[in-house]
Amino acid sequence: MATPTAEMLREQVRGDLFTPDDAGYEEARTVYNAMIDRHPRVVVRCANVDDVVAAVGFAREHELDLAVRGGSHSVPGFGTCDGGVVIDLSRMRGVTVDPASRTARAEGGATWGDFNNATYEHGLATTGGIISTTGVGGLTLGGGIGYLARGFGLSCDNLVSAEVVTADGRRLTASEDENDDLFWALRGGGGNFGVVTSLEFKVHPVKEIYGGPMFFEVDDAADVLRFYRDFIVDAPEQFGGFPAWQIAPPLPFIPEERHGDTFLAFVACWAGPLEEGESALKPLRDVAPVVAEMVGPMPYPALNSAFDALVPPGLQHYWKANFVKELSDAAIDAHLEHGPDVPAVNSTVHIYPINGACHRVGTDETAFAYRDATFATVIAGMWPEPAHNDANIAWVRGYYEATAPHSEEGGYINFMADDDQGRIEANYKGNYGRLVDIKRKYDPDNLFHVNQNIRP
Ligand SMILES: Cc1cc2nc3c(=O)[nH]c(=O)nc-3n(C[C@H](O)[C@H](O)[C@H](O)COP(=O)(O)OP(=O)(O)OC[C@H]3O[C@@H](n4cnc5c(N)ncnc54)[C@H](O)[C@@H]3O)c2cc1C
């Protein structure tokens, strides 16, 4: 029997509601990281903003934990909770594009695949994640790093406005002109301030890109990493991409006898004129022989879904992250010591560039504070077997401990594990105090606390 209170909520919502007694509950409670096994009291798969308001009110009035789920990719499993309410936005995925004003609006549960496919039709794109199944909402609210960041800034830098349901059930617009403090906080502050039911972005002329993955031998990794460090400082801003430790999956473009070997891959994305792509990537190609590659012109959404199969739902995840100002020789040595030991084909380490347009936004212009970092590093442990948890977590931690002394104190909140909650102030540096003030104004009772939490 469902609890009477959940039944009261059921009467209020147009979307689907799942309690432990409902068929579909097991699927509804499941999140992307299979390590997370929580049992909410009720999952509300909202059909519209009214449903969101009802679910927020229900959690507030009954003093229940409240988790908000967009794309479900949170590694610490912030899209679910034990015994509380889950607002699942996965039915609210519409994207509309206005080519005349070069803007696009996504509902709060849209994924980057939804977004990129819609804007591609108009030859437009904005900075988004490198995997198509990641949520637009969660990624943008934390900052948003992707191939186009050097040219157009972080995803949050392209946010024009957002519709937000706040803890008291109000529906607010946040933009430079309305509730500008909330708008400031949403651009990096994560899910701390309310449920964002739609996000409006600037979009830019990008349709086909030139790029893809190139695989270098581990013996050449030092040269590639040193080249990357120097090159990316003033490379043309249409050049995006990142180095990645990668065990070769059994793909046709990789010689069969090398499947299962470890490489330093470089995933490149040239978003300038296509005919300049080959020469734009030439300096990288000249560093060392390329063992295997799948580089060429392709639709931007194709690159953004090229690696989806490596990260299906249902893997175990444990990640750690840091911002980096300068990739010193000592830092590169630490990468060279731990990278080649990457234990699973799904696992990787990415060193994303966040300079260029990201640096033209002032440190205090948005909540995202590390405008002086050149790189955001993520050590992403991902593997299928729970039996291998200890070994994989140990690899992530060992790698992190070796690189942390060469990194900033803070890291990107969207790449962090649950055990990094203690780093929250460092992640926001001088912006933390203002975030606390804004949290006190919009969510004084910390209803939205299932996240990298900014305490009021
Ligand atoms: C395979 C994979 C690839 C990734 N690639 C990238 C990448 O290229 N670039 C990058 O920057 N990050 C990347 N990330 C990290 C990603 O940004 C975070 O995991 C992010 O939290 C995912 O958002 P989501 O909506 O999918 O997740 P969810 O688990 O649904 O939500 C995560 C958090 O965001 C909040 N949230 C989500 N939607 C809303 C909303 N509409 N309103 C209010 N709060 C909301 C939730 O409450 C929760 O705290 C990747 C993660 C994975 C697992």
Which tokens in the block code for residue 13? 């919502």
- Length of the chain (residues): 456
Q: Is 241 in the pocket of ligand 1 (CB under 6 A)?
A: no
Annotate 250-291 with three-state secondary structure.
Answer: CCCCCCHHHCCCEEEEEEEEECCCHHHHHHHHHHHHCCCCCC
Residue 5 pLDDT > 90: no
Beta carbons of 65 and 84 less than 8 angstroms apart: yes
Could you read off the pLDDT of 33-67 as tens digits, one per residue? 999 999 999 999 999 999 999 999 999 999 999 99
3-state secondary structure of 320: strand
Q: Is 166 in the pocket of ligand 1 (CB under 6 A)?
A: no
Ligand 1: nearest atom to the Cα of 33: 53
Mutation test residue for ligand 1: of 32, 36, 86, 139, the one with most atoms within 8 Å of CB = 139
What's the pLDDT band for 301 if we cut at 50, 70, 90?
Answer: very high
Which tokens in the block code for residue 123? 């030859």
Cα 135 to averaged position of ligand 1 atoms, centre (Å): 5
Average pLDDT of the residues in 251-258: 96
Write down the pLDDT at residue 1: 45
Cα 308 to averaged position of ligand 1 atoms, centre (Å): 15
What's the pLDDT band for 3 if we cut at 50, 70, 90?
Answer: low
Which tokens in the block code for residue 261? 């070997």
Which tokens in the block code for residue 26? 């097991």
Q: Of 367, 366, 371, 368, whose CA–CA distance to 355 is shortest? A: 371
What's the pLDDT band for 92 if we cut at 50, 70, 90?
Answer: very high
Cα 125 to averaged position of ligand 1 atoms, centre (Å): 19
Beta carbons of 102 and 204 less than 8 angstroms apart: yes
Q: Is 354 in the pocket of ligand 1 (CB under 6 A)?
A: no
Mutation test residue for ligand 1: of 65, 68, 315, the one with most atoms within 8 Å of CB = 68
Cα 61 to averaged position of ligand 1 atoms, centre (Å): 27
Residue nearest to ligand 1 atom 3, measured at CA: 131
Residue 2 pLDDT > 80: no
Please give the Cα distance from 264 to 351 (Å, whole number).
12
Q: Is 150 in the pocket of ligand 1 (CB under 6 A)?
A: no
The whole-chain average pLDDT of the chain stands at 97
3-state secondary structure of 190: helix
Please give the Cα distance from 456 to 454 (Å, whole number).
6
Beta carbons of 413 and 154 less than 8 angstroms apart: no
Cα 252 to averaged position of ligand 1 atoms, centre (Å): 31
Could you read off the pLDDT of 201-253 as tens digits, one per residue? 999 999 999 999 999 999 999 999 999 999 999 999 999 999 999 999 999 99
Contacts within 8 Å (CB) and 24+ apart, 53-58: 53/165, 53/169, 53/171, 54/9, 54/12, 54/13, 55/9, 55/13, 55/85, 55/87, 56/87, 56/165, 56/167, 56/169, 56/195, 56/447, 57/169, 58/5, 58/8, 58/9, 58/12, 58/85
Q: Is 229 in the pocket of ligand 1 (CB under 6 A)?
A: no
Cα 195 to averaged position of ligand 1 atoms, centre (Å): 13
Q: What share of the chain is helix, strand, coil (3-state, %, to 5)?
A: 35, 25, 40
Question: Where does residue 179 fall: left (phi above 0), alpha (psi -120 to 50 degrees), or beta otherwise?
Answer: left
Residue 164 pLDDT > 90: yes
Task: Write out the H or E segment, with its range, that includes residue 87.
Answer: strand 85-88
Q: Of 105, 109, 82, 103, whose CA–CA distance to 95 is shortest? A: 105
Residue 4 pLDDT > 70: no
262-290: b (≥16 Cβ within 10 Å) or e:
bbbbbbbbbbbeeeebeebbeebbebbeb
Q: Is 195 in the pocket of ligand 1 (CB under 6 A)?
A: yes
Q: Of 27, 19, 240, 50, whose CA–CA distance to 129 is shortest? A: 240
Q: Of 27, 215, 217, 201, whose CA–CA distance to 107 is shortest? A: 201
